[in-house]
Structure 1
């Protein structure tokens, strides 16, 4: 099963320092952007992407073997598919 963001449930917060370019910081503040919230959401997206990449890499051999089998033998229960 591929990992998903649902496995990243919100938990206690940890104060963290980040360094931003002054122009980015000022623009975000002037637009009322919650920097912590945006950083957390973007990190969650990046974590999800990297977990999916890791899963694909770890399962590449199995996926290739399965795809070869489907190409050679067709899908299991193909004759009963309604679509």
Structure 2
């Protein structure tokens, strides 16, 4: 049985440190939104990490090429 709302949002049961939850409530924070923001940041960071890992061979090749031959079109740079 899945707890998904018509809006596409899913109800979850989370376990969080009590002191942190109490402080967040005292500050008037919306716990659902705060957890969502943290999860969005974690997902974005992991996607970036995986993209960098998948593209590492190109980065290494390009860096070696620049070291050997210099920057492409460097003669046209204005700075």
Same topology, TM > 0.5: yes
Unmatched runs of 5 consecutive residues or more in structure 1: 1-10
Provide Cα deviations, 1:48-80, integer angstroms capped at 9, x if missing partner: 111111011111111001100011001111100
Which ranges of 4 or more aligned residues in structure 1 deviate by more than 4 Å? none
Q: Mark the structure with the bigger radius of gyration.
A: 2
Tell me how far 1:27 sits from its aligned partner: 1.7
Structure 2 residue 53 is matched with structure 1 residue 61: no
Structure 2 residue 36 is matched with structure 1 residue 37: no
TM-score normalized by structure 1?
0.79
Q: Cα RMSD over matched residues?
A: 1.4
Aligned residues: 73
TM-score normalized by structure 2?
0.82
Give the Cα–Cα distance (whole angstroms) in 2 for the partners of residues 59 and 72 of structure 1: 20
Task: Work out which of the residue numbers 57, 76, 81 in structure 1 matches 2:72.
Answer: 76
Unmatched runs of 5 consecutive residues or more in structure 2: 1-6
